[in-house]
Amino acid sequence: FQGIVITPLLLLLFLGSSSSVPFTSIFSQLFMTVVVPLIIGQIVRRYIKDWLERKKPPFGAISSCVLLMIIYTTFCDTFANPNIDLDKFSLIIIVFIIFSVQMSFMFLTFLFSTRSNSSFTPADTVAIIFCSTHKSLTLGIPMLKIVFAGYEHLSLISVPLLIYHPAQILLGSLLVPTIKSWMVSRQKALKLTRQPKAPVKV
DSSP letter for each residue of 33-70 = IIIHHHHHHHHHHHHHHHHHHHH---HHHHHHHHHHHH
Separation between Cα atoms, residue 153 and residue 84, nearest integer Å? 7
Average pLDDT over residues 72-98: 78
Helix axes 159-194, 137-147, angle to 10 degrees: 140
Average pLDDT along the chain: 79
Indicate if the pLDDT at residue 200 is higher than 60.
no
| Pairwise pLDDT comparison (197 vs 134), residue with the higher score | 134
Which of the given ranges, 12-21, 36-45, 80-89, has the highest pLDDT on average?
Answer: 36-45
Long-range interactions of 61-69: CB distance < 8 A, separation 24+ = 66/138, 67/136, 67/137, 67/138
Burial 52-76 (b: 16+ CB within 10 A, else e): eeeeeeeeeeeeeeeeeebbeebee
Average pLDDT over residues 55-83: 77
State how far the alpha carbon of 146 is from the alpha carbons of 28, 37, 70, 113, 150, in Å.
10, 16, 16, 34, 9
148 in Cβ contact with 154 (< 8 Å): yes
pLDDT digits (tens, 9 = 90+) for 97-146: 988 988 998 999 999 988 888 888 889 999 998 888 877 777 777 777 77
Would you list the domain boundaries of the chain?
1-56, 58-186
Report residue 128 CA to chain centroid gap: 11
pLDDT at site 199: 59
Average pLDDT over residues 55-79: 78
